[in-house]
Structure 1
Amino acid sequence: MAKFALLFLFLFASGILAALFISPVSAVLVYQLVYFVNPDNSWWAASIPGLQYSFIAALLMLFMLTIRYKELSGKAQWKDQPVFKWMIAILFMYVFMINFAVVTGVHKSFTYEFTKLVIIILAAYKLITSERALNACLWAYIAGVTYIGYIAYSVGRDGQGRVEGIGMIDTGGDGNMTAAAMVPALIILTYMAWMGNKKIRILAIICGGFIANGIVLINSRGAFLGAVVGALFFLMYMIFSRYQRKGQKGTAILIILIGLSGTIYVADEAFWSRMETLQDIDDGGKSGSHRIDFWMATFDVLEDYPLGVGVQGFIELSPNYLPEHYFEGRKVGKATHSTWFQALSEIGWIGFLFLSALIISTFKLSRKTKRYLIQVENYDAYFKVLALEGALISFLVAASFIDRARSEMLYWLILFIAIASNIYYLRFVDPGSKKRKTLGAVGAHRS
């Protein structure tokens, strides 16, 4: 039996026992393990029993929520989080669109999967009720994408200079989608390295190396842009924020130098050649600028189908709305190649407004949390929330060039911000008036 197979089975079984007898958050860690490792698609899959690991992990989360519901509800209440109402509104739109979807069977299948995702997110929110639990989940995410980076290194590029066929189950092995899910970890790692001790910093450098190398091997232009924007967002706050720790600006500059050095070291000629195509807008095939044609076609589709066309509806109808040259030698249509236009085409203007409201409410909640943390002078948590914001921004930038409106990573990143707001802010204010419940909040944050 392969060593990875043994390690996976050990961690899977240990996580189940830990959830049952130690802490319910272990159920979330088990789910993350299965999601990122994607055992059914691993080269060592034949060495493990053919169980439905994802289903078992999800069932474990729901079981732990059920038996500990009363205790957990006192620490995390769904009604206090505006983001959840928008998630449910988006889900209702997908359910409603079953009646109007162009490809009904595919739409039903993906709506079922999306329903499971929303349920998992709601359950995870109640199971992750402490700073320690949140940190554990962030490290589990980092470990998961580090593993994917290692697999990318082991597999290597194919004949087209890309790495395909790896990643989480909801990416379908698409390299761009996998890279987009890896990018946010780099911003979170930056925070972990800054705040951590020497051992944590060494671990962060090792994990960051595998993740960055994996992104380079995948050669995703959208992921590269996402990494640049997300990192600049967080580092600029580190450098120019009024709230400074000792040596903060110097640390930020050092991180920038290490990042640049690391990028130069792992990035090869093939990577830079692909990134240079971003400037070649005259050749849409090289630069990806032809995506604008797909985006504009979405508005034409909506003129005929104001409610949207459901999952895969745009792909099915695209030959009717795009020039013929896009389909030479193709048996299937074209996707929108953008999370925003994907949502617009699948669930129409109403669904798009729900998705926009979800993103806006997430950043509003984050802003309120940061303001409160500044008031109580908990600057460590303040920068953690900034790092989570930067992680979400990096994903949204990368996802602007691929279809990720229903991706697990998008909703997990929103969840991390919601959990941070609960741990650092909502517990210490009156949900109605948003006034501080107790002056003891400062001590509670720092304990």
Structure 2
Amino acid sequence: MGKFALLFLFLFFAGIFGALFYAPVLSVLAYQLVYFVNPDNSWWAASIPGLKYSFIAALLMLFMLMMRYKELSEISPWGKQPVFKWMFALLAIYGLMIFFAIVPEVHKPFTYDFAKLIIIMLAVYKLVNSEEALDACLWTYVLGVTYIGYVAYSVGRDGQGRVEGIGMIDTGGDGNMTAAAMAPALIILTYMAWLGSKKIKFLAILCGAFIANGIVLINSRGAFLGVVSGALFFLCFMIFSRHQRAGQRGMAILIIVVGLVGTVYVTDEAFWSRMETLENIDDGSKSGSHRIDFWIATIDVLEDYPMGVGIQGYIELSPNYLPEHYFEGRKTGKAVHSTWFQALGEVGWFGFALLLMLLISTFRLSRNTKTYLIANKSYNAYFKMLALEGALLSFLVAASFINRARAEMLYWLILFIAIASNIYYLRFTEPKRKIMKSRSAVGGGEDE
């Protein structure tokens, strides 16, 4: 049995034991471990027992939630978290579309998977109820995509200059989807490297190197744009924010310099050749600009199907709405290649509005949390919220060029903000809990 197989089994069963006898949040870490490592798709899969690891971890989370439901509900009530109502509304519209979907045999099982995802998000929200637990989840995410970066390095590029066949459970081995999930980790690592100890800084740089190198090897233009967008968002706040710590601007400039040097070191000619195609819109096959035709066709589809066409409905109908040259030598239709137009096509204008409301609600919640943190002079937590916002923005930019409307990573990033808002803000808005401020995770002001 290989070292990775042994390490996975040790961590997985340690997570189960720890959740049962030490801290329930370890069940969440075990679930994240399975999601990012994706053991069934690993080269060492034959060395481990053929168990349903993801199902076991999810079942463990639900068991821990059931055992401590009353206690957890007092500190993490679902009712006070506004993002959940929009998640349920989205789930409801997908459920309704079972009766109208163009390909119901595909739409139905994917809707069930979406329902299971929402249930998992609800459980995680209650189980991750402290700053330490949130940090543990963030580090598990970072280490998970660091492993993926290592795998990308080990596998290397294929004949097309890409890395395919690796990644999380719900990516199907698609390189663009995998890279989109990796990109937000670099923004979170920027925050950790800034405020962490020397050991944390070293670990953050090491993880960042593997993640950045993995994105470069995958050659995803969307992920590259996502990293740039998220990093600029966070670093601009570091430089121009009125709430400055000693040496903050200097650190931001140092991070930029290190990032540029690291980019030059890990990138190669193949990567920059692919990035240069972003400017070459004349050749749609190279630049991806032909996707605009796919997006516009979504509007045409909705003229005939205003409620949407369900999951895979666009692919089924695309030959009727796109020029014939897109289907030469193909037996299947084309995907829309955009999270925004994917949602629009699947659940129509109303469902698309619900997705927007989910995102608006998330950013509004983060804004309210930041206002509260500033009022309490909890600037470390304030910048953590900005880093989580930057991470979500990074994913949304990358996902604008691929179909990820129901991606588990999208909902994890939304959930991280929801959990942070509960830890730092929501639980202190009730009058009866104001006495807890002195013991709050945000107490201590600037020295935290």
User: What's the TM-score bracket when you normalise by the shorter of the two chains?
Assistant: over 0.9
Structure 1 stretches of 5 or more lacking a match? none
- Aligned equivalents of 1:18 and 1:257: distance in 2? 41
Counting only pairs closer than 5 Å after superposition, residues 31-430 of structure 1 correspond to structure 2 as 31-430=31-430
- Cα offset, 1:109, TM superposition: 1.1
Structure 2 stretches of 5 or more lacking a match? none
- Aligned equivalents of 2:339 and 2:438: distance in 1? 39
What SS is found at the alignment partner of 2:12?
helix
What SS is found at the alignment partner of 1:74?
helix
Q: Which residue of 2 aligns with 1:2?
A: 2
Q: Contact 1:146–1:207 (CA<8 Å) still a contact in 2?
A: yes
What SS is found at the alignment partner of 1:336?
coil
- Aligned equivalents of 2:200 and 2:291: distance in 1? 41
Aligned-pair RMSD on alpha carbons? 1.0
- Aligned equivalents of 1:45 and 1:381: distance in 2? 40
- Cα offset, 1:330, TM superposition: 1.0
What SS is found at the alignment partner of 2:23?
coil
| Structure 2 CA distance for partners of 1:299 and 1:442, relative to 1, 3 Å | farther
What whole-Å deviation, never above 9, does each CA across 1:178-208 have from its counterpart, x for those lacking one? 0000000000000001110000000000000
What whole-Å deviation, never above 9, does each CA across 1:372-395 have from its counterpart, x for those lacking one? 000000000000000000000000
- Aligned equivalents of 2:434 and 2:121: distance in 1? 29
State the one-letter code of the partner of 1:250. G
What whole-Å deviation, never above 9, does each CA across 1:104-135 have from its counterpart, x for those lacking one? 11101111111110000000000000000000
- Aligned equivalents of 2:204 and 2:59: distance in 1? 32
Q: Which residue of 2 aligns with 1:446?
A: 443
State the one-letter code of the partner of 2:89. A
State the one-letter code of the partner of 2:11. L
- Cα offset, 1:446, TM superposition: 3.2
- The ranges of structure 1 where at least 4 consecutive aligned residues each deviate by more than 6 angstroms after the TM superposition are none
State the one-letter code of the partner of 1:438. K
What SS is found at the alignment partner of 1:278?
coil
Q: How many residues align?
A: 443
- Aligned equivalents of 1:165 and 1:322: distance in 2? 29
What whole-Å deviation, never above 9, does each CA across 1:258-316 have from its counterpart, x for those lacking one? 00000000000000000000000111111111110000000110011111110000001
What whole-Å deviation, never above 9, does each CA across 1:64-120 have from its counterpart, x for those lacking one? 000010111111011111100000100011110000111111101111111110000
| Structure 2 CA distance for partners of 1:312 and 1:237, relative to 1, 3 Å | same
What SS is found at the alignment partner of 1:333?
coil
| Structure 2 CA distance for partners of 1:245 and 1:436, relative to 1, 3 Å | farther
What whole-Å deviation, never above 9, does each CA across 1:26-84 have from its counterpart, x for those lacking one? 00000000000000000000000000000001000000000010111111011111100
- Aligned equivalents of 1:355 and 1:261: distance in 2? 38
- TM-score, with structure 2 as normaliser: 0.98
State the one-letter code of the partner of 1:224. F
- TM-score, with structure 1 as normaliser: 0.98
| Structure 2 CA distance for partners of 1:292 and 1:436, relative to 1, 3 Å | farther
- Aligned equivalents of 1:106 and 1:266: distance in 2? 40
State the one-letter code of the partner of 1:88. F
State the one-letter code of the partner of 2:10. F
State the one-letter code of the partner of 1:157. R
State the one-letter code of the partner of 2:109. S
- Cα offset, 1:439, TM superposition: 6.6
State the one-letter code of the partner of 2:155. V
- Aligned equivalents of 1:240 and 1:169: distance in 2? 39
What SS is found at the alignment partner of 2:277?
helix
- Cα offset, 1:438, TM superposition: 2.6
What SS is found at the alignment partner of 1:279?
coil
- Aligned equivalents of 1:438 and 1:314: distance in 2? 51
- Cα offset, 1:440, TM superposition: 5.6
- Aligned equivalents of 1:75 and 1:331: distance in 2? 53
State the identity as a percent.
76
- Aligned equivalents of 1:356 and 1:398: distance in 2? 16
| Structure 2 CA distance for partners of 1:102 and 1:442, relative to 1, 3 Å | same
- Cα offset, 1:368, TM superposition: 0.1
Q: Contact 1:376–1:442 (CA<8 Å) still a contact in 2?
A: no
- Aligned equivalents of 1:216 and 1:330: distance in 2? 29
- Aligned equivalents of 2:77 and 2:167: distance in 1? 33
- Aligned equivalents of 2:332 and 2:437: distance in 1? 57
Q: Contact 1:374–1:382 (CA<8 Å) still a contact in 2?
A: yes
